[in-house]
Amino acid sequence: MAGNDKRRGGMRKTNKKGMVVGSGGQRRRGLKGKGPTPKAEDRVSHPAKRRADARSKAEQQRAKRQAAAETQPELVAGRNPVVECIRAGVPASGLYVAQGIDIDDRVTEAVREAKARGISVVDVPRIELDRMTNNAMHQGLALQVPPFKYAHPEDVLQAAYDSGLPPLIVALDGVTDPRNLGAVIRSAAAFGAHGVIVPQRRSAGITAVAWRTSAGTAAQLPVAKAVNLTRTLKDLKSEGLMVIGLDADADVTSDELELATGPLVVVVGSEGRGLSRLVRETCDQTVSIPMAAGVESLNASVAAGVVLSEVARRRRIS
């Protein structure tokens, strides 16, 4: 009996805490969801996150290099570009002439006009000029110009109004080659445009290469930077300007460009991708250039020149 009482009144000991039978809801709480799975780019150890960080870092470094370049003097190299810049009144702080070069009319004019404008003329060894211009084709002449001073898009529009003519503005969408930028500026000046607008990011700036290609016309025409090109185009539309974009799959050809004689913005796309989606959607009309069969496309600056020439022609006869 005593053994039975001991079994009946005794309790089995355990080291476990809480209820022995059943989970009491503890397992249910442990299975509670933690929310949606983060995107791959948001996971610290995911390869997509590392790639996104690398792209962001590269973009920041590119922006820093561009900002630094815009605060440093530039050298325009080559006899024709130097003479054209001096004739155009490009602000300059120094003219470098390689020692022992053959003197022609361009060298004589560059030295004479530089001295007349108070620009210092410095004779340097040719090897030093090679180093200064990164072995560019300088032909013994290089002109040092200060960082380019960009206008505001509103300044470009005001310059157009002050001309008394229907505004004609050129905007570049992602053109990253400074030679194309310089060539577009030269065409814009030649065909009566009142200014050029470039995006603040992902765009070429006025460097020595752009100065050279523009043949000094960048000093004659206001070039503005837009923080947001799409928003700037919408602002211009609100001022009564029509926006047309150069595009291979276009609404009309340049032969049918009836908008040419009114207030106009001509948008030129990048060398490879053309117009970006948001810019294309902002355009009132897209324009293509009739070409012979077998030719896919034209260089961005050449296409800009063709359309601007047509705009100028229509304005002359209107």
Q: How many residues comprise the chain? A: 318
Alpha helices in the chain, H assignment, sequence order: 2-9, 26-30, 47-69, 79-87, 105-116, 126-132, 153-163, 178-190, 208-214, 229-238, 277-282, 300-317
Per-residue confidence (pLDDT) for residue 211, from 0 to 100: 77
- pLDDT grade for 217, boundaries at 50, 70 and 90: confident
Confidence band, pLDDT 50/70/90 cuts, at residue 238: very high
Whether the pLDDT of residue 310 is over 90: the answer is: yes
Report the candidate in 231, 176, 242 with the shortest Cα–Cα distance to residue 203.
Answer: 176
Q: By mean pLDDT, which of 87-91, 218-222, 230-234 is the weakest?
A: 87-91
11 — pLDDT class (breaks 50, 70, 90)? low
Residue percentage of the chain with pLDDT more than 90: 48
DSSP letter at 318? Answer: -
For residue 15, the model assigns a pLDDT of 56
Answer yes or no: is pLDDT of 18 > 90.
no
SS3 94: strand
> If pLDDT is split at 50, 70 and 90, which confidence band does 220 have?
confident
> Is residue 82's pLDDT more than 60?
yes
Classify residue 185 as exposed, middle or buried by CB count within 10 Å of its CB (0-12, 13-18, 19+). Answer: buried
- Note the pLDDT of residue 212: 73
pLDDT in tens, 246-256: 988 888 999 99
- pLDDT of 305 reads 93
- pLDDT digit string (tens) for 253-309? 999 999 999 999 999 998 778 889 999 999 999 999 888 877 777 888 899 999 999
Burial (0-12, 13-18, 19+ Cβ within 10 Å), 107: buried
pLDDT of the residue at 22: 55
| pTM of structure | 0.67
Instruction: Answer with the residue of higher pLDDT: 87 or 62.
Output: 87
